[in-house]
């Protein structure tokens, strides 16, 4: 099986693949960008792709929502990783020798408070991937330069860890989704989670009514994300993650929603990969409070 990821061996996307397919032999299709991941799947260079979709510090990775929806991909699974960031360099370096640091923009964002502690002349440079930046330091014997990446990257590429757990919030998680072409063959457990997308009209209370439909069918809202509808200024699409106990409840809810909202699409049904706190909003709507 070929899986496309953004990054190289040792990256967090690589780790997510290992979590998703712990007992399968997987060939990585290494890509420089998230867009390249989706194109690899679209043009059959890979069977599936793995995309980071949100982080507890950086928030939603908005372009990836559009990549999944506009490419008409299906979400088949999800995995959550605890993300710990490490500052690393060549073995000969100490932290006082470092004058610039490289990493993926999202990783840098997760460590912004830590990086503010360095003097103004300290350079923070965005790179294409956490692991790739670390590997480049090793291969080019770059002195005075550090990378921010996971511990497994330092171990894989023989770098020295200068500082540990440097992310701004220690309980740091990233959610990754497994995407593929619609109808692709993959054994799945009984689904209890779904991601849907729709657009609402301009009438007052349309979002409240849509959420009410979910609540009345015992559907729990776990995330709602709005994104601009491309080409239509000031109009928004809503991407919603929801969980359910019975698939029949989900089917009833989407039948009602499909008749009420516009541009309705199921982006995927899959098995929830962690315990989520019940949505207070959904419970309030269900109770009629």
Question: Using one digit for the tens of pLDDT, what is the confidence trace for 218-256?
Answer: 999 999 999 999 888 889 999 999 999 999 999 999 999
Would you kindly state where each structural domain of the chain is located, as residue ranges?
Answer: 2-82+174-181, 86-163, 193-287
Is the per-residue pLDDT at 277 higher than 80? no
* Whole-number pLDDT of residue 104: 94
Question: What CA–CA distance (Å, rounded) separates 137 from 157?
Answer: 9
Q: Which pLDDT band holds residue 276 (cuts at 50, 70, 90)?
A: very low
Among 178, 184, 192, which residue's Cα sits nearest to residue 241? 192
Question: What CA–CA distance (Å, rounded) separates 194 from 90?
Answer: 44
Q: What CATH number does the domain located at 193-287 have?
A: 3.30.70.260
Beta carbons within 10 angstroms of residue 99's beta carbon: 14
Q: What CATH number does the domain located at 86-163 have?
A: 3.40.190.10
SS3 for 3? strand
Instruction: Tally helices (H) and strands (E) across the chain.
Output: 10, 15
Is the per-residue pLDDT at 282 higher than 80? no
- Alpha helical stretches, state H, 77-129: 105-110, 112-115
Same fold, 86-163 and 193-287: no
Distances (CA, A) of 197 to 157, 269, 282: 41, 12, 17
Higher pLDDT, 125 or 281: 125
Among 188, 180, 183, 182, which residue's Cα sits nearest to residue 48? 180
| Fold designation for 2-82+174-181 | D-Maltodextrin-Binding Protein; domain 2 (3.40.190)
Beta carbons within 10 angstroms of residue 174's beta carbon: 24
Burial class (CB in 10 A: 0-12, 13-18, 19+), 219: buried
Is the per-residue pLDDT at 285 higher than 80? no
Beta carbons within 10 angstroms of residue 63's beta carbon: 13
């Amino acid at each position: 099986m070929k899986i496309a990821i953004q990054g190289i061996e040792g990256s967090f996307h690589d780790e997510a693949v290992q979590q998703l397919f712990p007992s399968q032999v997987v060939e990585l299709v290494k890509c420089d960008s998230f867009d390249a991941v989706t194109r690899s799947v679209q043009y059959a260079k890979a069977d599936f792709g793995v995309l980071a979709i949100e982080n507890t510090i950086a928030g939603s990775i908005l372009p990836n929502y559009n990549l999944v929806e506009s490419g008409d991909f299906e979400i088949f699974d999800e995995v959550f990783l605890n993300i710990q960031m490490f500052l690393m360099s060549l073995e000969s370096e100490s932290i006082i020798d470092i004058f610039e640091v490289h990493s993926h923009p999202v990783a840098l964002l997760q460590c912004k408070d830590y990086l503010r502690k360095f003097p103004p002349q300290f350079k923070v440079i965005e790179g294409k991937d956490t692991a790739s930046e670390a590997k480049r330091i090793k291969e080019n014997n770059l002195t005075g330069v550090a990378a921010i990446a996971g511990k497994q990257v330092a171990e894989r590429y023989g770098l020295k860890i200068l500082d540990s757990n440097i992310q701004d919030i220690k309980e740091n998680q990233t959610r990754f989704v497994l995407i593929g072409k619609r109808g692709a063959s993959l054994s799945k457990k009984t689904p209890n989670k779904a991601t849907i997308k729709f657009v609402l009209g301009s009438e007052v209370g349309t979002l409240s009514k849509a959420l009410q439909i979910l609540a009345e069918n015992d559907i729990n809202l776990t995330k709602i994300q709005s994104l601009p509808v491309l080409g239509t200024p000031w109009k928004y699409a809503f991407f919603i993650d929801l969980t359910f106990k019975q698939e029949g409840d989900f089917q009833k809810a989407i039948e009602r929603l499909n008749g009420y909202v516009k541009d309705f699409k199921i982006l995927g049904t899959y098995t929830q990969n962690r315990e989520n706190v019940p949505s207070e909003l959904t419970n309030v709507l269900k109770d009629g409070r």
